[in-house]
Structure 1
Amino acid sequence: MIARTRAQMVEETRAKLIQAARKAFASRGYAASSMDDLTAEAGLTRGALYHNFGDKKGLLQAVIDQIDAEMLARMRVVQEKAETPWLGLMAESLAYIEMALEPEIQRIMLLDGPAVLGDPAKWPNQTACLRRIEKTVQALIDEGTLKQVDAKAATWLLNGAVLNAALWIAAADDPKTVFSKAADAFQHMASGLLAER
Structure 2
Amino acid sequence: MDPALNARQRSRIETRKRLLQAGARLFALKGVSATTAAEIAREAGVAVGTLYLHFGDKSGLLRAILNEGVEALLQAMALVADGSDERCSRQQVDLLVNFAEKNRGLCMVLFDPESIRIGATADVMDRLTRFQVDRLLGRCGTAVRLDQAYLAARAMVGMVMHGIYWWIQNDPKLEAHAVADILYSLRTGAMASVAEVL
TM range (shorter): 0.7 to 0.9
Number of aligned positions between the proteins: 187
What percent of counterpart residues are identical? 20
Structure 2 Cα separation of the partners of residues 86 and 193 of structure 1? 15
Could you say what secondary structure the match of 2:194 adopts?
coil
Query: What is the rounded CA distance, in whole Å, between the counterparts of 2:66 and 2:127 in structure 1?
Result: 15
* Counterpart mapping for 1:119-138 below 5 A: 120=121, 122-123=122-123, 126-138=125-137
Structure 1 gaps, min length 5:
none
Choose which of 29, 32, 37 in structure 2 pairs with 1:30: 32
Among 164, 167, 174, the residue aligned to 1:166: 164
TM-score, length-normalised on structure 2?
Answer: 0.72
In structure 2, C-alpha distance between the alignment counterparts of 1:70 and 1:26, rounded to whole Å: 19
Shift of 1:6: 4.5
Aligned partners of 1:85 and 1:136 also within 8 Å: no
Structure 1 stretches of at least 4 aligned residues deviating more than 6 Å after TM superposition: none
Gaps spanning 5+ residues in structure 2: where?
Answer: none
Residue 139 and residue 72 in structure 1: after superposition, are their counterparts in 2 closer, same or farther (change >3 A)? closer
What does the per-residue CA deviation read over 1:125-166, in whole Å, with 9 as the maximum and x for residues that have no partner? Answer: 5545433322220222239xxx85732332222222223323
Q: Secondary structure at the match of 1:176?
A: coil
Is residue 14–residue 52 contact of structure 1 (8 Å, CA) maintained in 2? yes
Q: Name the CA distance, whole Å, in 2 between partners of 1:166 and 1:117.
A: 21
Q: CA deviation at 1:115?
A: 4.0
- Offset of residue 45 of structure 1: 0.3
Normalising by structure 1, we get a TM-score of 0.72
Classify 1:92/1:182 alpha carbon distance in 2 versus 1 (closer, same or farther; 3 Å).
Answer: closer
CA distance in 1, matches of 2:114, 2:31: 10
Give 2:149's aligned residue: 151
